[in-house]
């Protein structure tokens, strides 16, 4: 049983034009249409259900003609087309006996997954409506009722519901937004205000669940199981009425404190709550009963594209195989999915279609379920080293604060870069021991960035993986074992005087960035300060006095390709020092 309440218009499960057409665009006549489909407006976003998608997509294609983005999309489309063709060829060779055998294997897996179902938790996802845009409208009432987006000509962070009626949405370049809606007002972002509002909201939610899990500034999971039970015991009301009342109260308190509206989804686990929260936006709430049949019914007609974790490429591949809804995943094609996809991917599809997910927001559950913590930022084209390092410092600070707030430490630093040609570069470094220290995260990220420059970037991100509970005994044992390894010596930057315990390669990038960004007056002060400290403020003399840990291992690695060098160092548990 699922119910909706509130003023939200709801986007529903929706349907797609040409849904029964098996043409995947791999033929010559379908390439243009398939490519347009890849770049097409995603109308699943709240407030975009009535957009003239065909007209909007024509403008998007026209504005993208000749752009590096279009060229990158063509390359991605070509790779996807090859993947689809390969899967179709493999599917055509599946014999009746093999198909029946895989169907039986899938049935066994589904039965085992069903045994994992838990219905005793009442989980809520609170999702703030057009969060950044709503704050800008709140603080500047003149923006209300006008098409407005937060961001710039290079990229939009979010848009209000008026702008969404024109097809303007997040992750869209501002110049395309202007083409879709010439009256569009672009407002500069103010993250200090967004963070302050998010802190107020988290404070309110923490009164309902001390382990509230904020997954972003505008979304958080709240376990209201105990609160709902208390209401049911006190009033004799049904679970639906009690849960609905608690969620409505929560949303009202958020509005009273911030003058911002929130939508919410309630279900027996995080997956169902997440999907439900998007069903009745803005300013509404959706309830899915803690009942197996209710959950299966709720998921059955859901397009696979609406499942968190299934992106447009995977959805396109599944569509080509005739799998378009969650019901299709559990239907006659389930054996093929098990054969054509990895066991891990198939298990993910099956769990999602069954509506299975984590049912707790406690700290131990976060450690078990959450595999990474990260942040990324999109910006206009930047190539100056000092500006890129400054952005990296900000990202590292956000990641470290998140880990410390959740009592987590990460073992591997992952750096994500996207160039202005839309090429995505991903690099990773495994540290000696899990950490939540800024110097460790920032130092590793700067070293990896230093190796890739020069580049002109439009996006940067840092993610920590290999998360462990900072308070666990296993972590303490790991740290004891790791303590035998030599520590990196502290190094003082001769320009900004910061003391960082990072590799010399990372410090080199840090110093060069400082030198690039410093004014003549600041440079003079920095040089005077360095003179008092001893060595002159030049890179050569500075590093002549600085110890170089792992010099021998670094020299050996120069003889290996980069990929082998990283894998070898990580496997040996060494600190990766990049030149």
Give bridge partners of residue 416 from the DSSP assignment.
426, 461
Percent of the chain as helix, strand, coil, to the nearest 5: 50, 15, 35
Give bridge partners of residue 277 from the DSSP assignment.
none
Closest CA to 429 of 502, 481, 527: 502
Question: What are the tokens at 29?
Answer: 């006549």
Q: Are 336 and 99 in contact (CB under 8 A)?
A: yes
Give bridge partners of residue 419 from the DSSP assignment.
457
Please compute Rg for the chain using Cα positions: 26
| Residue 508: its H or E element | helix 504-517
CA angle (561, 567, 569) in 5-degree steps:
100
DSSP readout, 375-409?
EEEEEEEE--HHHHHHHHHHHHHHHHHHHHHTTEE
Beta strand spans in 244-319 (E): 262-267, 284-288
Residue 153's contacts (CB-CB under 8 Å, 6 or more residues apart) are 173, 174, 175, 178, 186, 380
From the list 54, 65, 183, 219, the catalytic residue is 219
114 catalytic, yes or no?
no
Beta strand spans in 466-525 (E): 468-469, 491-492, 499-500
- The rounded distance, in Å, linking the Cα atoms of 303 and 280 is 16
Residues marked active site are found at: 219
């Amino acid at each position: 049983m699922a119910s909706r309440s509130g003023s939200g218009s709801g986007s529903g499960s929706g349907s797609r034009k040409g849904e029964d057409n098996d043409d995947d665009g791999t033929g010559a006549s379908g390439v243009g249409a398939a490519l347009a489909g890849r770049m097409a407006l995603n109308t699943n976003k709240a407030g975009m259900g009535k957009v003239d998608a065909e007209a909007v997509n024509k403008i998007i294609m026209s504005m993208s003609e000749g752009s590096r983005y279009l060229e990158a999309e063509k390359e991605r489309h070509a790779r996807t087309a090859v993947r689809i063709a390969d899967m179709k060829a493999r599917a055509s060779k599946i014999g009746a006996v093999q198909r029946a055998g895989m169907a039986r294997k899938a049935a066994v897996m589904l039965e085992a997954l069903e045994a994992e179902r838990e219905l005793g938790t009442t989980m809520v996802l609170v999702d703030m409506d057009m969060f950044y845009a709503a704050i800008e409208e709140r603080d500047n009432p003149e923006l209300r009722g006008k098409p407005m987006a937060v961001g710039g000509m290079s990229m939009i962070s979010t848009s209000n519901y008026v702008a969404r009626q024109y097809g303007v949405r997040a992750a869209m370049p501002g110049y395309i937004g202007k083409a879709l809606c010439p009256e569009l007002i672009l407002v500069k972002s103010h993250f200090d205000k967004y963070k302050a509002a998010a802190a107020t909201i988290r404070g309110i939610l923490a009164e309902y669940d001390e382990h509230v899990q904020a997954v972003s500034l505008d979304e958080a999971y709240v376990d209201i199981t105990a609160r709902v039970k208390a209401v049911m015991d006190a009033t004799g009301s049904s679970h639906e009425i009690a849960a609905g009342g608690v969620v409505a109260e929560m949303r009202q308190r958020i509005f009273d404190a911030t003058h911002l509206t929130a939508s919410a989804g309630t279900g027996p686990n995080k997956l169902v709550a997440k999907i439900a929260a998007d069903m009745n936006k803005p300013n509404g709430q959706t309830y899915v009963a803690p009942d197996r049949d209710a959950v299966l019914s709720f998921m059955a007609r859901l397009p696979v594209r609406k499942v968190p974790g299934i992106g447009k490429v995977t959805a396109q591949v599944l569509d080509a195989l005739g799998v378009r809804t969650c019901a299709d995943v559990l239907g006659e094609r389930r054996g093929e999915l098990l054969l054509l996809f990895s066991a891990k991917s198939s298990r993910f599809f099956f769990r999602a279609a069954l509506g299975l997910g984590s049912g707790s927001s406690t700290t131990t559950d976060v450690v078990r379920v959450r595999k990474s913590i990260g942040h990324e930022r999109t910006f206009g084209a930047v190539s100056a080293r000092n500006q890129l390092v400054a952005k990296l410092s900000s990202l590292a600070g956000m990641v470290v604060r998140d880990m410390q707030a959740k009592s987590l430490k990460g073992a591997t630093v992952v750096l994500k870069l996207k160039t202005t040609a839309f090429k995505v570069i991903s690099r990773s470094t495994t540290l000696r021991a899990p950490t939540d220290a800024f110097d460790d995260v920032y130092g590793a990220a700067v070293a990896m960035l230093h190796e890739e420059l020069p580049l002109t970037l439009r996006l940067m991100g840092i993610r920590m993986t290999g998360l462990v509970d900072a308070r666990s005994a296993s972590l303490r044992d790991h740290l004891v074992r790791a303590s035998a390894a030599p520590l990196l010596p502290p190094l003082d930057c001769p320009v900004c005087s910061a003391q960082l315990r990072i590799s010399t390669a990372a410090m080199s990038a840090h110093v060069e960035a400082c030198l690039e960004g410093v004014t003549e007056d600041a440079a003079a002060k920095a040089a005077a300060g360095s003179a008092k400290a001893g060595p002159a403020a030049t890179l050569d003399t500075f590093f002549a006095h600085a110890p170089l840990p792992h010099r021998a291992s670094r020299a050996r690695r120069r003889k290996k390709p980069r990929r082998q060098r990283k894998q070898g160092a990580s496997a040996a548990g060494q600190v990766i020092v990049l030149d």
